[in-house]
Amino acid sequence: MKVILLGAPGAGKGTQAIKLSRELNIPHISTGDIFRENIKEGTPVGVRAKEFIDKGMLVPDEITLEIVAERLKKDDCTNGYLLDGFPRTLPQAQALAELVEIDVALNIDIDQSILKERLCGRRCCPECGGTYHVKHLTGDACPVCGAKLIIRKDDNVETVTKRLEVYNAQTAPLISYYESCGKLFNVDGNRDVEEVFKTCLDRLKE
Ligand code: AP5
Ligand code: MG
């Protein structure tokens, strides 16, 4: 099953993708995570991507498309995958359509007024990939693996504001694109994690 997770920054794409990936046994492919890994390793892609990510802008399509095309060639993609944060522009969606036929685009629909609080309070585990919110944590250790949690460099008010603007201008139009392809499924993301998960899973198990 080939699934796209659409949604604004902080809508819960990563949170749901981790859970769905475990449940469905298909890989979770996050372009944001791939870029952050490249930045950490100091690769040429990482150096280039950092210029854009730190400003809350999108990495150019040609770089993004190349890393996705490479990732989709790996053996673990044979039975499908969850694409988290890709595509994010119309040219990316059109390029993806030339490579594969996706089954569904799950759009995590959310009231944008809560996203700044969600993102500015997010803490991420650099070891196991878990994502949490400060209001549910007691210290700075990952509740799952114990590693020290980190704050993403783009999770500050200024960059989050820019990311939301970019989302509305460049990514939100993909909702009508996938609707016109008959692939869109809207999920109410304003509920708790387990409720959103159940709706996504029910749709994917149909
Ligand atoms: P990326 O890493 O994809 O970031 P994003 O789209 O901004 O989305 P986030 O990861 O911030 O949010 P999320 O929806 O995953 O939310 P999460 O589950 O963590 O991209 C980063 C950057 O890389 C981009 O800005 C761009 O520069 C570049 N990039 C990436 N892909 C690209 C592409 N295709 N083209 C060009 N550039 C690209 O949850 C957020 C918080 O909310 C957490 O604290 C979580 O615990 C909490 N939460 C989640 N769900 C719930 C819930 N239901 N109720 C309450 N709290 C919840
Ligand atoms: Mg994410």
Check residue 37 and give its pLDDT. 95
Catalytic member of 36, 123, 163, 183: 163
Catalytic member of 36, 71, 118, 122: 122
Q: Which residue has the tokens 């952050």?
A: 36
Average pLDDT over residues 159-172: 97
Ligand 1 atom with the shortest distance to the CA of 57: 27
Portion of the chain with pLDDT greater than 70, in percent:
100
Residue 66: helix, strand or coil by DSSP? Answer: helix
Check residue 129 and give its pLDDT. 87
Number of domains in the chain: 1
CA dihedral 168, 18, 189, 94 (to 10 degrees): 40
Give kind and range of the element (H or E) at residue 104: strand 104-109
Check residue 63 and give its pLDDT. 98
Residue 66 has pLDDT above 90, yes or no: yes
Answer whether residue 85 is part of any domain: yes
Could you tell me which of 51, 13, 54, 10 has the C-alpha nearest to residue 31?
A: 13
Answer whether residue 118 is part of any domain: no
Contact 187, 199 (CB under 8 A): yes
Ligand nearest to the CA of 133: 1
For residue 50, what is the domain's CATH number? 3.40.50.300
Answer whether residue 174 is part of any domain: yes
Average pLDDT over residues 34-50: 97
The residue segments making up the domain with residue 70 are 2-111+156-204
* Residue 13 falls in the annotated catalytic set: yes
Ligand 1: residues within 6 Å at CB?
Answer: 7, 9-15, 30-32, 35, 52-53, 56-59, 64, 85-88, 92, 118-119, 122, 131-133, 154, 163, 192-193, 196
Residue 56 has pLDDT above 90, yes or no: yes
Which residue has a Cα nearest atom 19 of ligand 1? 14
Residue 42 has pLDDT above 90, yes or no: yes
Catalytic member of 2, 13, 36, 118: 13
Which residue has a Cα nearest atom 46 of ligand 1? 132
Query: Which pTM does this prediction carry?
Result: 0.96
> Do you find a cis peptide bond into 87, omega within 30 degrees of 0?
yes
Answer whether residue 148 is part of any domain: no
What are all long-range contacts of 40-44, with beta carbons under 8 Å and residues at least 24 apart?
none
When the pLDDT of each residue in the chain is averaged and rounded to a whole number, the result is 96
Residue 143 has pLDDT above 90, yes or no: yes
Answer whether residue 73 is part of any domain: yes
Answer whether residue 176 is part of any domain: yes
Q: 2 to each of 20, 83, 99, 176, how far by Cα in Å?
A: 12, 8, 12, 19
Answer whether residue 138 is part of any domain: no
For residue 135, the one-letter residue type is: K
Answer whether residue 84 is part of any domain: yes
Please, which pLDDT band fits residue 206 given cuts at 50, 70 and 90? confident
Check residue 18 and give its pLDDT. 94
Distance from C-alpha of 123 to C-alpha of 5, rounded to nearest angstrom: 21
Check residue 134 and give its pLDDT. 94
Q: Which range, of 47-61, 68-82, 89-103, 116-130, averages the lowest pLDDT?
A: 116-130
* Residue, of 206 and 83, whose pLDDT is higher: 83
